[in-house]
Amino acid sequence: MSEQVHRSCCGLLFDAISIDMEAAARQIREHPSLWRAIPSGNWAQSYHFCEPEDFPELTAKYILVLDALNFCFWTAPEYEYRHLAGALKKQAQTHPEWFAAESLARLSQEDLTQVLLSIYEQDFPQGMESFLPEFFAQMEERSRLVREVGLQLLRKWDGQCLNLIRAAKGSAVVLVDLVLESFPGFRDYAVYQGKQIAFHKRAQIFVGDVWGAFHGHELGRLEDLDRLTCFADYRVPQLLRSLGILKYSAQLSELVDSKTVIAAGSSFEVQIRAATVVAVERLRELLALEFGIKLSSVELDWVLWERGESSLGTLAPHHRTLTMFY
């Protein structure tokens, strides 16, 4: 399925975005140390639940639920990815039974809201009312996606996420396919220029997270991880644009910089995501061939995402699209 993502994106013509590989080469020459791999073990940051040795099933289910919910944080600017991951981590540590497939399958919108808002209330001394309307706007869809995870684990995998991972037999590509087959909410397509375009951001990032959480060993030993693409989202194109690697047309720049919502599935939105995939693939080739830095697209995505997260105060705005896919 990663080949489908690569083929469908790399075959497109963009009229609103260009990719400047000379700018990419300059960035690498000027800051070579910033383009090195982040060790897979770094996935286990303070806000992730990651105990693969003692609790492999709970770790796997945590990742699956996390990536079922890993989309569209910009509608509530005060609530970031780290809040989502940290709230779910707290739940895994204090109420691991919550992650049982039977429990997930009957999860209510109210229960999910309570869990997701439980841990970082101290971050909002002015009260949480400032972002609750926006946060609640997608809570119905978020709770539906978690229920789907529970139901499909019960129907297809005897309630166990480890059964899903083991069925891939060490193949990242097969695991992406199994996730897409098992969970309709992970199927991330668009139509552009009369073609169906595959992105599958959340399915691929689940596989990358499994590799990271299990440190690339045992269940995380995925021999063909390098066949996945980057995870086309908000932060990576935002950083690539700030580095001069992605260049937007005047019209698209005005929309993005004014924080105007760009419709999901529109030409502009598909071009941003597809150009991101193409740019990361070209970057990966450039790093390997001219600079001797060999990274998978997953590793390069981590490098770019981490740089974007650490530079939020200096970056121009990212595009705004209301979607369940990223």
* DSSP track, 255-305: HHHTTPBPPTTSHHHHHHHHHHHHHHHHHHHHHHHHH-----HHHHHHHHH
Q: Where in the sequence numbering do the catalytic residues fall?
A: 233
SS3 19: strand
d(CA 34, CA 243): 13
Half-sphere CA count of 93, side-chain side, radius 13 A: 13
- Torsion sign, CA atoms 270, 277, 305, 176: positive
Judge contact between 112 and 142, C-beta under 8 A. yes
CA distances from 309 to 37, 277, 302, 322 (A): 16, 19, 10, 20
Residue 294: other Cβ atoms inside 10 A: 12
- Pair of tokens at residue 123: 């971050």
Burial of 83 (0-12, 13-18, 19+ CB in 10 A): buried
**Residues paired with 320 in a beta bridge:** 261
Contacts of 75 (CB under 8 A, 6+ apart): 134, 135, 137, 138, 322
